Amino acid sequence: MASILLVEDKDELREMLTHALRRMDYIVTPAANVAEALAALERQHFSAVLTDLKLPSGTGMDVLRAALEADAALPVIMMTAYGSIQDAVAAMREGAYDFIQKPIDLAHLQHLLARAIERQQLLRENLVLKEEYAQRYGFPRMVGEHPAMLAAAREMQRIAATDTTVLLLGESGTGKELFARAIHQLSQRSNKPFVALNCAAIPEPLVENELFGHERGAFTGANARKLGKFEMAEGGTIFLDEIGELPLEVQGKLLRVLEQRTLERLGGTSSITLDVRVIAATNRALEAAAEAGEFRRDLYYRLAVFPIRIPALRERGGDVELLAEHFLDRFRRELRKPRLELAADAHGALRRHAWPGNVRELQNAMERAAILNDGEIHAADLGFASQNEADPKQAERTRIESTLRACKWNKNHAAQKLGISYRTLLSKIHAYELD
C-alpha cells in the first residue's frame, strides 16, 4: 500500500485530507509544520509527498528540498492558494512533480497521486541500474540490460516496499548479496541494520549461537551474554546466504523463529520478540533438496514466499561486455591507468567464455588484466584463454585447481576466494579428482 506524507498547517484541512486519502487506500502520515515533515522524512520512506506551499516556520520549498535529498525519485505535489501559481511553477523548476490549487478537488488529487506514484515506480526500476542512484543509496551498481536481469530488478522493486520474506536463487557469483542489500535499501527499513550471515562459512556447532546468541553461562567459556545476528538486525533485515547449507537441527529452530517472530538465546528461559525481515539465498535446488530429505520442506515453503531467480552471467548475452567495461572503468581510476582498453580479441574471448564463476569471476579477470597491463588488454591477459571454453565443466575444474594452487591448497581460503561453501568445494574436488 502506498504511503503519503501530508504537510498542512491548518488543522481542519489536514484532517479532511487525511480521511480522504485513507479512503483512497493510502497510508497517511500527517505533519503540521516543516519540522514534523523533516522528522517524518528521516524516519521512513514515502511513495509521495503532498505539501502546502505556505507553512509556519518555513515553506513547502523546505519540505521539497528535504524530500528530494532523501529520495531523488520521490514525487512532491505542492498545494497552493489562488494567486500563488508563480511560486508553484518555481517549485516545479526545483523538482516538484506538480501542483494542485485550493480548494482541493479530491478526484483530481486522486488522479494526480496515482500518476505520480506510478512514475516513481518506473523511475526506480530504471534508476536501480544506474550509477548515480546506486551511489546515493549506498549499494554497488547493478549493471545489465538483458531482459532476464531487468525482470529480476523489477521483481526486486516490487517486493522491496513490503516485509515479505524473499528467497534469492542463483549460482555462486551472480550477485545475490547485492540484490539483498538493494532490497533493504529500497525498503522502509533502510535506516535500520542490514546483517549478513553466510551459513556455510560457520562451523556447524556454532551456527545456532551465531543466529540466536547465548546467555552468560550457557556453556563453558560463555562469560558474557552475546547477541545473535537476528537481534543485531532488529528493525532491519537479516540476509542468510547459503541457506541450503544450514544443519537440519538448526533449520527447525529457524522455522520456529520465522513463524512465531520470537527467539530464545542459548541458555535462555525467556522469549525475545523480533521485528526483522528475512532474505535468504542459495545456489542449491532447495525444492529438490527437500524432496531428498536434505532440507526441511516446511522451511522451504516459509522461505520461498517470493523467490527471485538471478540469471547466470552466461545467460545474459551482451551484459558480459557491459560489465567488463564497468569493471575496467573502475580499475582505470583505482590504478590510475587511463589508457586501459579492451582489444577486439578480448571482446571475443569475453563473449565465448562459459563464466562458471559468474560476475565474481569476470571482476577478478578484469582486475588481473588491469594490473598486468598499461594499454590494450588482449584475450591472453584475461587468464582463461587457454581453457576449453566449449566445456564449462573443464573451465570450472581448471579454475578450482588454479585457485587451490594459489591458496597453497588451503581449502578454506580457496572456498572463500571461489565464493562457494567449504562443503561444496570438497564435493567438487572429489568430482574432478583433484584430491
Cell of 306: 517470493
State pLDDT tens for residues 248-261. 999 999 999 999 99
pLDDT at 82 over 70: no
* Model confidence at 227: pLDDT above 80: yes
Q: What is the pLDDT of residue 336?
A: 92
Region at 353 (left for phi over 0; alpha for psi -120 to 50; beta for the rest): beta
Residues 28, 33, 34, 38: is their CA dihedral positive or negative?
negative
Cα gap 52→61, rounded to integer Å: 9
Domain-by-domain residue ranges, the chain? 3-127, 143-309, 313-431
Which has the closest alpha carbon to 8: 114, 107, 109, 121?
A: 109
Classify domain 313-431 by CATH number. Answer: 1.10.8.60
pLDDT tens digit string along 313-357? 999 988 899 899 989 998 999 999 999 999 988 998 998 898 988
In the predicted model, what is the mean pLDDT of residues 282-291?
90
| Res 247 pLDDT > 50 | yes
| pLDDT tens sequence across 189-224 | 888 899 999 998 888 888 889 999 998 888 888 888
CA 141 to chain centre: 11
Nearest alpha carbon to residue 349 among 400, 316, 383: 383
The predicted-structure confidence for 264-276, as pLDDT tens digits, reads as follows 998 888 889 999 9
Neighbours of 52 (CB within 10 A): 23
CATH class, range 3-127: alpha beta
Q: Are 3-127 and 143-309 the same fold in CATH?
A: yes
Indicate the pLDDT class of residue 125, thresholds 50, 70 and 90.
low
Asked if 144 and 126 count as a contact pair (C-beta separation under 8 A), the reply is no
pLDDT at 231: 93
What are the φ and ψ backbone dihedral angles of 52, each rounded to 5 degrees?
-70, 150
Question: 143-309 falls under which CATH superfamily?
Answer: P-loop containing nucleotide triphosphate hydrolases (3.40.50.300)
Reported confidence tier of residue 388, pLDDT bands at 50, 70, 90:
very low
CA dist., res. 371 & res. 314, Å (int): 25
Residues 6+ apart with CB under 8 A from 99: 53, 77, 78, 79, 80, 85, 88, 89, 91, 92
Based on the number of CB atoms within 10 Å of its own CB, is 224 exposed (0-12), middle (13-18) or buried (19 or more)? exposed
Which pLDDT belongs to residue 137?
47
Residue in 24, 132, 22 with CA at minimum distance from that of residue 73? 132
Task: Give residues with Cβ within 8 angstroms of 176, minimum separation 6.
Answer: 168, 170, 241, 281, 310
Distances, alpha carbon 93 to alpha carbons 55, 75, 97, in Å: 20, 13, 9
Instruction: Please check the confidence at residue 413 and state whether its pLDDT lies above 90.
Output: no
Q: Which residue has the higher pLDDT, 74 or 84?
A: 74
Q: Residue ranges of the alpha helices (H) in 161-247?
A: 176-185, 207-212, 229-232
Percent above pLDDT 70 for the chain = 91
Q: What integer pLDDT is reported at residue 273 of this predicted model?
A: 93
Nearest Cα to Cα of residue 434 among 404, 414, 412: 404
- CB contact at 8 A, 64 and 76: yes
- Average of pLDDT values for 122-137? 52
